[in-house]
Structures are given as C-alpha cells and as structure tokens.
C-alpha cells in the first residue's frame, strides 16, 4: 500500500503523544508547565489536522487502483504500490486512519470541555471562537468546497459562498498569529483537497504537487493577511476581502498558476452578479462574495465579544452588492436589446464528444467513433466540425511523413487525412505536434500539445501550440537546475511538452477564433489576450474524461463561464467528455451535451460585434487597485493612535 511508512510514523507519533499526556495527568491534576498545557490543549489539533490531510490524500489517490494503465505501470515500476482495486485501497486507508482520527477528536473535545474557558484563553469570553477553531475551520473548508460543483451537488450550492468563510474569519480574529497561520493554511488545503478530489486520476503526481503548492502558498498569505485583519480596525471588514482577492490573483500567475476554486467562480449561475466580471474580471466577484463573508463575521465577532460595531460595514457592503447587481441588470437588458435587433451573422459549429479515454491507446477504435459521430454532424452542414483535445492522438505531422505500409500509426493518419478531405468541411482537432530546432549544429525536437485546423479541401491551415501547460505533469522548465526532480517526474511517466510561443487566431472564411486548450480557459488574462488579437469566438478543446467524475467537468465549465462575460465573447467547449457546451456572452450555458455520453452538439453562434469590455481593454487592473487600497488601510492603521 502507498501509505505503509507514513502510517507507521503516525502510529508512533500518536503513541508518544498519548504516553506524554498520560504522564502529565498521572503526576498532577492541573498541568502547570507551559509545554504541558500546550500538549494537552493543542496536541490533538495538530495530530488531527495532519492525519486528516494525509487520510484524504490516500483515500482520493486510491482511485488510481482501478485504472488498468496504473496497474500496468506498477508491474513495470517499483516506485508505486496500490491494492488491486480502489475499494481495497480505500478500505485499508479507513481501517488505518479513522481510529486515529477518532482518538484525536475525543482528546480534543475532552480537554476543551474540562478546562474553564477563561483559563484556556486568558482574554475573556470572546476567545470561545479561538477555542473551537478546529471545528470552525473544518466547517469553513467544507462549506467553501461544497459551494462549487461537487460530489454532493453537481451544480454546486452557490449560496454557501456568501457565508462559508465566516467560521474561519471569526476564529482567525481571536487566534494568536502562529495558530492563525496554521488554521488558515489548514482550511485552504482542506478546501483544495475536497474540491479537487478528481485530481487523483489526472496523473500519478498531480494531487501531491497541488497539495504541496497549496500549503506553500497559504502559509505566507496567512502570515500577511492576519496582521492586516487585526490592524485595520474599523475598516478591518475590507482588509481580508482585498487580501483574499489579491491572493487568488497571484495564485493564477507564473509556472505554478492554478486558478481553480476561486470563491467568485462559485457564483457562475448567478447571472446578474457575474456581469461585474466584464469590468473587473472574476476577481471582482471574488471580492464581493468575500466582502459579504467578512461583513457577517465582523458583526458576529462583535456580538460574541460584547463590542459595538457601527453601520459602516453594512452600508459599504450593501452599496457594493447593489451597484454590482444594478450593473448586471443593465448589462442583461442591453444584451437582450442587441439580440432583439437586426439579425446578426451566425456561424454553425458541430462539437463532437466521443467519450473515450485516449490513454487506453485504442486509437483506431476511437477514430472509428469520431468518424461515425462526425458523419452524423455533417447532416446539419456545419461551418466547422470541432473535435476535442487528444481526440485524434497519433501525431499527424510526424506520421504523415512515414510509410503507411510499415507503420500502423502512419496508416491511421493517412486514413484520417483521406476522411477529412472527403467530408468537404472544415475540421478543428486536438493533436500532438512537434518542431525541429537547430542549436549549435545539433537538431533538437520540441513536442507540443496542439490544436490543428484543416480546411474543407483537406489542407492543414494553421496550428496552435498550448502555451499555459499544467505544471509538473505537462511542463517543467527547470530540467537543468533541478535534474533530480526532473528524473523523478520521468519515473512516473509524466508527459512533458514545450510551451507554445504564439497566440494563434484561426481564420475561417466566416469568422475568427482561438483555441485555449484544456485548463487554459481558467486563466482570465490568457483568454483576454486571444480576444485582443481578434478572436470573435473562443473554442476550448478539453479532455476531462480522465477525471472519471462529472464534478470536474462542471467545475471546468463554471470557470469558463467567466471568460465569456469578461470579454463579451461566446465560448464553445468541445470535450472528450466533461461538459461540451455553448456559453453566451452573458455567461449563460445555452446548450450542452450529456456528461459521459457520446454526442454531437450543433450550435448556431451569433458573431460578436467587436464590443470591448473594460476587462478586455485593461486586463487584471482590479487586484493591483485593491493592493493600493490595502496599503492605504495599513498606513491609516499605523498612523492612528491606539484607543
């Protein structure tokens, strides 16, 4: 099993802690030493948090045991051990870790109830929030995860987003700095693991890296946000929402960028509210929802401590929400007026969802299904047929140059090219690509994850190479600097590509479009740059089949909704499976295919009138503006004398 060594470590750690607690209780009724009190009151919190995170990881990772290619990998590599199936792996995890978690909970509750509240805190009744920080943090992390599409509700429960952070914020307001960082980080990691449980089947390493990166990101964020929360005084209800929004924005940047699970994205079905994204990007929605959480916590904490709060927080928060909804109502009315005007030119797309896993290497069978579905699509005479990411796996450029009589993949590529030309229709498909680069007389091959456009005459018109690759599992830029980590990635069969260097705008006789591939459509500025270069329609090619759950497909589509609103452009998504759908410029999902079924979704898309939103023009201006406001709040707090 994957958890044998860590499990033994947890067993030893629990035995040592229990022995220490027993000695303390036997020697004296009330622990006098600081270290003794710390162990009694906080040892269970630390053990529970660490054990829970590791248990969740093992439980989620167990999904891999059901994958046939993972079982094949284990027979040829010695660096991974799993049970023969997911059920056995999960049962083993439960038998090992649930007794430890139960012990930690009993320990935690016993000593919280047995010692007087004032002795535990030394700061009066308000400390009740800090005393029960563990359950409050668990509640916040869980509610935030459930506000998005989840295993509990496929569409998510957006209303939870408006108060999911309240338990955490009231606890953070009372916790000492170190414990505030601990619990804030724990909430972030917990929410990430619950929301992203489907990462267990993306790659053998993805879940590990996402968990570690989340941990590393939240520690400095909480170390900065907590002093802001406590030093901003009367305007403290603004400090945390501003800091949280900036943090989410920073998490979307650079090699490690992963803007998944941003609180604003939970509101993707609240169409009037999300129109503010046309001004601020999704960051404005995140700020509004976090502001509501902060305001509720602001008054709840005051009620618990007997302090008085004026109406400022309610007035400011209410004004922000009303203005956002007012702008949303205006935007919807304006869009409806445009739709009711003279007919606009439309383009017809047939989005093919083949519902197949390309990792099974059954390329001929997959192509057969793609042809069958495409033949059905051609009956509606589309302007463009769209296949998903990895729909046709064999590298078309490479194998078209080989002898079909010698190489089976070359024969399959020849069949594909012949078929595409025979359709007399334009075709867009995901496909691996490569280029040869000369460096100091040495020829090197660079591999890409790409999207290829073929004309109705069978000509290869243009190719886009994915720019924003998934860190560690699709791209690793530090091969020379960190050769050991690079070798580790290779040992787990990570498929590493090179990033593209051009934002291609494809030119069809009837319209222009760009093709962010897979999770590129969750990056606001990346999609905006395609639009700035002239894309009238955004066509996202994805393969969400690997997740084996409808949850991931819905979460992915929820993120894509905001790219449509931000840029006033329709987004068509063609997924191997996931959510093949059409999103209009208001962020409404107007057409969709069933999840995990073979289907063809044919849609008529009104072409954009080149309307530019504020976000399209200015990009991510909102988070830096919030940073300036935070500096101002901090300056005021430092200058004003303490009461």
* Average pLDDT of the segment spanning 604-630: 91
* Average pLDDT of the segment spanning 204-215: 85
pLDDT band of 478, cuts 50, 70, 90: confident
pLDDT band of 122, cuts 50, 70, 90: very low
* Average pLDDT of the segment spanning 243-271: 93
- Mean pLDDT value across the chain: 88
Q: CA nearest 508: which of 585, 428, 591, 420?
A: 428
With 70 as the cut, is the pLDDT of residue 125 above it?
A: no
Which residues are part of the catalytic machinery?
Answer: 389, 466, 518
With 80 as the cut, is the pLDDT of residue 18 above it?
A: yes
- The pLDDT assigned to 223 comes to 93
Please tell me the least confidently modeled range out of 242-256, 290-304, 447-461, 521-535: 290-304
State what percent of residues in the chain have pLDDT above 90. 58
With 90 as the cut, is the pLDDT of residue 202 above it?
A: no
* Average pLDDT of the segment spanning 215-242: 87
**Position of tokens 């009620």?**
303
**pLDDT, greater one: 286 or 86:** 286
Residues 6+ apart with CB under 8 A from 584: 564, 570, 590
* Average pLDDT of the segment spanning 407-422: 95
- The pLDDT assigned to 123 comes to 44
**pLDDT, greater one: 493 or 411:** 411
**pLDDT, greater one: 453 or 477:** 453
Cβ-in-10-Å burial (0-12, 13-18, 19+) of 115 comes to middle
- The pLDDT assigned to 77 comes to 65
Using DSSP, state whether 639 is helix, strand or coil. helix
pLDDT band of 23, cuts 50, 70, 90: confident
Q: Does domain 346-467+503-608 have CATH number 3.40.50.2000?
A: no
Cα(37)–Cα(30) distance, rounded to whole angstroms?
9
DSSP state of 475: B
Q: How far is CA 248 from CA 96, 139, 228, 416, 524, in A?
A: 35, 21, 17, 43, 12
- The pLDDT assigned to 78 comes to 60
Q: CA nearest 355: which of 154, 589, 539, 593?
A: 593
- The pLDDT assigned to 486 comes to 83
* Average pLDDT of the segment spanning 158-180: 93
Please tell me the least confidently modeled range out of 85-89, 204-208, 236-240, 448-452: 204-208
pLDDT band of 68, cuts 50, 70, 90: low
pLDDT band of 39, cuts 50, 70, 90: confident
471-480, long-range: CB < 8 A, 24+ apart = 471/209, 471/255, 471/256, 471/257, 471/258, 472/205, 472/206, 472/209, 473/202, 473/203, 473/205, 473/206, 473/209, 474/449, 475/255, 475/499, 477/255
* Average pLDDT of the segment spanning 311-331: 94
With 50 as the cut, is the pLDDT of residue 465 above it?
A: yes
Q: What is the pLDDT of residues 172-195, one digit of tens each?
A: 988 889 999 999 999 999 999 999
Q: What is the pLDDT of residues 322-364, one digit of tens each?
A: 999 999 999 999 888 877 777 678 999 999 999 988 777 789 9
**pLDDT, greater one: 143 or 260:** 143
With 70 as the cut, is the pLDDT of residue 79 above it?
A: no
* Average pLDDT of the segment spanning 510-521: 95
Sheet holding 442-454, edge to edge: 460-465, 442-454, 427-439, 384-386, 346-353, 599-606
- The pLDDT assigned to 595 comes to 92
- The pLDDT assigned to 513 comes to 97
* Average pLDDT of the segment spanning 457-469: 95
Query: Between the CA atoms of 34, 38, 40 and 43, what dihedral angle is there, to the nearest 10 degrees?
Result: -150
DSSP string, 199-220: GGGT-TTHHHHHHHHHHHHHHH
Do the beta carbons of residue 433 and residue 450 sit within 8 Å? yes
If you count them, how many residues does the chain have?
643
pLDDT band of 549, cuts 50, 70, 90: confident
- The pLDDT assigned to 66 comes to 72
Cα(192)–Cα(215) distance, rounded to whole angstroms?
10
pLDDT band of 436, cuts 50, 70, 90: confident
Q: CA nearest 427: which of 455, 450, 451?
A: 455
With 90 as the cut, is the pLDDT of residue 29 above it?
A: no
* Average pLDDT of the segment spanning 77-87: 74
Cα(394)–Cα(61) distance, rounded to whole angstroms?
29
- The pLDDT assigned to 145 comes to 95
**pLDDT, greater one: 165 or 129:** 165
What are the boundaries of each domain within the chain?
1-115, 121-344+635-643, 346-467+503-608
């Amino acid at each position: 099993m994957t958890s044998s060594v860590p499990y033994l470590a947890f067993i030893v750690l629990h035995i040592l802690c229990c022995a220490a607690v027993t000695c303390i209780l036997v020697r004296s009724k009330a622990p006098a030493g600081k270290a003794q009190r710390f162990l009694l009151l906080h040892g269970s919190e630390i053990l529970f948090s660490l054990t829970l995170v590791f248990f969740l990881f093992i439980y989620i990772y167990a999904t891999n045991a059901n994958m046939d290619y993972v079982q094949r990998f284990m027979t040829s590599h010695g660096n991974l051990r799993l049970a023969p199936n997911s059920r056995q792996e999960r049962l083993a995890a439960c038998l090992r870790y649930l007794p430890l978690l139960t012990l930690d909970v009993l320990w935690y509750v016993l000593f919280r109830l047995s010692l007087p509240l004032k002795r535990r805190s030394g700061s009066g009744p308000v400390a009740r929030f800090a005393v029960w920080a563990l359950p409050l943090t668990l509640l916040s992390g869980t509610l935030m995860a459930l506000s998005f599409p989840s295993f509990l509700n496929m569409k998510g429960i957006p209303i939870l987003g408006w108060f999911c952070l309240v338990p955490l914020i009231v606890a953070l307001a009372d916790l000492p700095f170190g414990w505030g960082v601990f619990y804030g980080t724990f909430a972030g990691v917990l929410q990430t693991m619950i929301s992203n449980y489907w990462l267990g089947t993306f790659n053998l390493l993805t879940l590990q890296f996402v968990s570690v990166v989340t941990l590393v990101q939240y520690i400095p964020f909480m170390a900065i946000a907590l002093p802001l929360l406590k030093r901003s005084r009367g305007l403290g209800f603004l400090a945390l929402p501003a800091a949280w929004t900036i943090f989410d924005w920073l998490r979307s940047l650079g090699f490690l960028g992963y803007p998944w699970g941003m609180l604003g994205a939970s509101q993707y079905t609240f169409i009037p509210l999300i129109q503010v994204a046309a001004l601020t990007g999704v960051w404005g929605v995140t700020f509004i929802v976090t502001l509501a959480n902060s305001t509720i916590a602001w008054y709840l904490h005051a009620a618990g401590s007997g302090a008085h709060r004026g109406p400022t927080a309610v007035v400011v928060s209410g004004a922000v929400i009303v203005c956002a909804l007012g702008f949303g109502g205006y935007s919807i009315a304006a869009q409806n007026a445009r739709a009711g005007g003279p007919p606009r030119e439309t383009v017809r797309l047939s989005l093919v969802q083949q519902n197949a896993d390309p990792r099974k290497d059954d390329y001929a069978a997959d192509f057969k299904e793609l042809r069958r579905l495409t033949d059905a699509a051609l009956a509606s005479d589309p302007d463009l047929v769209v296949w998903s990411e990895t729909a046709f796996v064999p590298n078309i450029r490479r194998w078209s140059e080989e002898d079909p009589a010698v190489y089976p993949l070359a024969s399959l590529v020849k069949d594909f090219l012949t078929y595409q030309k025979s359709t007399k229709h334009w075709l867009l498909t995901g496909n691996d690509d490569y280029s040869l680069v000369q460096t100091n007389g040495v020829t090197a091959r660079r591999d890409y994850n790409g999207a290829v456009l073929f004309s109705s005459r069978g000509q290869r018109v243009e190719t886009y190479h994915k720019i924003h690759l998934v860190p560690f599992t699709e791209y690793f830029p530090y091969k020379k600097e960190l050769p050991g980590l690079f070798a580790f990635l290779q040992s787990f069969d990570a498929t590493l590509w090179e990033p593209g260097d051009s934002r291609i705008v494809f030119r069809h006789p009837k319209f222009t479009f760009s093709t962010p591939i897979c999770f590129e459509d969750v990056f606001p500025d990346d999609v905006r740059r395609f639009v700035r270069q002239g894309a009238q329609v955004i066509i996202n090619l994805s393969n969400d089949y690997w997740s084996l759950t409808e949850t991931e497909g819905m979460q992915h589509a929820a993120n894509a909704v905001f790219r449509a609103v931000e840029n006033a452009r329709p987004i068509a998504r063609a997924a191997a499976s996931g959510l093949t759908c059409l999103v209009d410029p208001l962020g409404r999902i107007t057409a969709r295919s069933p999840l995990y079924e073979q289907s063809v979704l044919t849609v008529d898309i009104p072409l954009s009138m080149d309307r530019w939103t504020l976000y399209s023009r200015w990009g991510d201006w909102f988070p830096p503006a919030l940073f300036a406001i935070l500096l101002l709040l901090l300056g005021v707090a430092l200058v004003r004398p303490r009461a």
